[in-house]
A = this chain, B = another copy of it.
Amino acid sequence: MQQQRKIEVCLTPALLPLYNIENSIVIVIDIFRATSSICYGIDNGAEAIIPVATVEECIALKDDICLLAAERDGKVVEGFDFGNSPFSYTTEKVKGKTIVLTTTNGTHAIDESKKTAYQVIIGSFLNVDAVCDYLKTQDKDVFLLCAGWKNKFNLEDTLFAGAVVSRLKDGNYFQDDSSTAAEDLYQLAKHDLGAYTAKTSHSERLKLLGIEEDIKFCLQENITQTIPVLKGNKLVKMVF
């Protein structure tokens, strides 16, 4: 008999050591803005995005074909080409390029999960249906890893996790409590994600940085079918 698959939502990377993810496809989630920008950049023809944990590693990987992207506390780190605003990841800027990227939360989550996961892919509202369609075809557990904010819980990543749970609902998965909570919050918020996320602490922070347009952009559903997948240390476009 086939074992029942499970869906788990890990609300922050700090809780990752509590889980066994060897048989899981990990979906890394950092809605504002790392994983949204990664989806957009790969869709716009970036050859690869190399996520690294620290600014130092980012600099160490610099060569002539690379763009360097570094964000800390919502801002582009001084001396870098850009940070993690999706508007930096247009076709014009990234086509054919390799980007080395470090961000406050998202790249840390990728780094931690790749050590033991069966596979690591990148999710955002921009590619939510493509991600779910892919997961449905795989006989694997689903592990939704919210990047959070400095290891604390955040609402926007949890809402996206809930969006995935609600779409996989009919697949007879075992759900843990955090996926039930995430799904219920998504059901509350889905008719106006913008209004709902406006009450998050992070949204307040981003507003202070003057990047409301980024937020609006990151809450669009299904503007791409591309799924970035981790191959070695590079995020590349998944080929079906």
Give residues in A with beta carbon < 8 Å to B.
Answer: 11-12, 14-15, 18, 149-155, 158, 175-178, 180-181, 184-185, 188, 199-202
Q: What residues on B are CB-neighbors of A175 within 8 Å?
A: 201
Contact yes or no, B15 A152, CB < 8 A: yes
**Contact of B150 with A18 in the complex, beta carbons under 8 Å:** yes
| A200 close to B180 (CB less than 8 A) | yes
For the complex formed, measure the closest distance between the CB of A92 and the CB atoms of chain B, giving whole angstroms: 35
Q: A15-B14, A15-B152, A18-B14 are in contact. Are A158 and B180 (CB under 8 A)?
A: no
Shortest CB distance A191–B (Å): 14
A158's nearest neighbour on chain B, judged by CB, is: B181
Give CA–CA (A175, B199) in the complex, Å: 10
B12 touches A15 (CB 8 A): yes
Q: Which of B152, B180, B184 contacts A176 (CB 8 A)?
A: B152
Q: Kindly report which residue of chain B lies nearest to residue A14, judged by CB atoms.
A: B15
A177 to B150, CA, bound (A): 13
